[in-house]
Structure 1
Amino acid sequence: MTITAAHIPAIVALIAGILILIMPRLLNIVVAIYLICIGLIGLGVLRFLHL
């Protein structure tokens, strides 16, 4: 299975959800990291890194 740019938000969301279930106090940090990742993906920054 090849991971494409379309899969990255789904993978990040899955990891964030699991972390929130395990440690609810991480909610602020997880949401912040998620929003930063989605913003970088939306801006196309990850394309420059060939991800």
Structure 2
Amino acid sequence: MTITVAHLQPIIAILAGILILVVPRLLNYIVAVYLIAAGVIGLGLFKHLS
């Protein structure tokens, strides 16, 4: 299985959810990183991954 840009958002969401459950104090940072990553992926700045 090849990982494409379409697979990155669900993987990031799962990892963020697990980290939030384990360390709730990190919620602000995890949400911020997730939003930045989703924006970068949405803009297509990782075209070489697809």
Taking structure 1 as the reference length, what is the TM-score of the superposition? Answer: 0.90
- What is the one-letter code of the residue matched to 1:42? G
Equivalenced residues, count: 49
Q: 2 CA distance for matches of 1:45 and 1:31?
A: 20
Deviation of 1:34 after TM superposition, in Å, equals: 0.1
Q: Give SS of 2:4's match.
A: coil
Q: Runs in 1 of length 4+ with deviation above 4 angstroms?
A: none
Classify the secondary structure of the residue corresponding to 2:5.
coil
Within-5 A mapping of 1:3-42: 3-42=3-42
> Unpaired runs of 5+ in structure 1?
none
Q: 1 or 2 for the larger relative contact order (CA 8 Å, sep ≥6)?
A: 2
Task: Determine the C-alpha separation between the residues in 2 that align with 1:37 and 1:22.
Answer: 21
RMSD: 0.6
